[in-house]
Amino acid sequence: MSKGLPWLVLGLSLLTVPVLAEQSNFNALTLAKGFDQSKAFVTGYTGGSFSLSSLAKLDSQNRPCIGYGGSNPDHLLILKNDFSNLKLAVESGGQNTTLVVRKNSKILRCSIGNNLTKDAQIQGENWSSGEYEVWVGSVEAGKRISYRLEAKSTD
C-alpha cells in the first residue's frame, strides 16, 4: 500500500464534511403520521442577505417569494408520510418574516407575514412524503430575527 494513500483518504473525507454540514443551517424537522405537535418545532435565526426571490419569483400558486436569508436552506422538513393538511408557522414575536419551501428544486410554497401577526405561515393540502428545503427569511436584508418554526397537522 502506498504511503500517501492514507493521507489521500483522510483528505478526501475532510472535504466531504463541509458539504454535509451545508445541507441546512439549522436542525431538520422530521414528521410522521400522528406526530406530537407539542414537539414539532425547530429554532433558528434569520440574517442573510441572499434574496429569496432569486430562488423563484412566484410559488406554485402564484404567491410572491420574497425576503432575505442564507443561500442554504435553514431547515430540512422530512415527511415520512403523505399529509393531507400541514401548516408551518413562524413564531418570532411579530417580526416581519417570510417562508420559502422547495422540494426537488421546485418552489412549492411561499409566504410573508400579514398585517396582524407579521409572522409568515403556510397552510396547504396534499404534502407528499419526502424531503423539503425550508428558508425562513426577513423582509429586511441582514436583519437577525430569532424564531421558532412550528408544524401542525389535522391528519
Residue 115 lies in a domain: yes
CA separation for the pair 105, 86 (Å, rounded)? 20
Q: What is the pLDDT of residue 60?
A: 93
**pLDDT over 70 (residue 9):** no
Residue 97 lies in a domain: yes
Q: Are 118 and 96 in contact (CB under 8 A)?
A: yes
Query: Residue with C-alpha cell 400541514?
Result: 86
Q: What is the pLDDT of residue 114?
A: 83
Q: What is the pLDDT of residue 3?
A: 58
Residue 19 lies in a domain: no
Q: What is the pLDDT of residue 59?
A: 95
Q: Which three cell numbers stand for residue 56?
A: 423563484
Q: Tell me the pTM.
A: 0.84
**Residue 29 belongs to what domain range?**
25-153
Residue 98 lies in a domain: yes
Residue 18 lies in a domain: no
Query: Residue with C-alpha cell 426571490?
Result: 53
| pLDDT tens profile 91-132 | 999 999 999 999 999 999 999 988 888 999 999 999 999 999
Q: Are 136 and 74 in contact (CB under 8 A)?
A: yes
Indicate which CATH number applies to the domain containing 60: 2.60.120.380
| pLDDT tens profile 38-90 | 999 999 999 999 999 999 999 999 999 999 999 999 999 999 999 999 999 99
Q: What is the pLDDT of residue 7?
A: 39
Q: What is the pLDDT of residue 117?
A: 84
Q: Are 7 and 15 in contact (CB under 8 A)?
A: no
Intra-chain end-to-end CA distance of the chain, in Å: 57
Q: What is the pLDDT of residue 74?
A: 98
Q: Are 28 and 75 in contact (CB under 8 A)?
A: yes
Residue 3 lies in a domain: no
One DSSP character per residue, the chain reads --TTHHHHHHHHHHHHHHHHHTS-SS--EEE-TT--GGG-EEEEE----EEGGGT-SB-TTS-B---EE-SS-SEEEEESS-EEEEEEEEESSS--EEEEEEETTEEEEEEE--TTT---EEEEEEE-SEEEEEEEEESSTT---EEEEEEEE--
Residue 14 lies in a domain: no
**pLDDT over 60 (residue 18):** no
Q: How many domains does the chain have?
A: 1
Residue 145 lies in a domain: yes
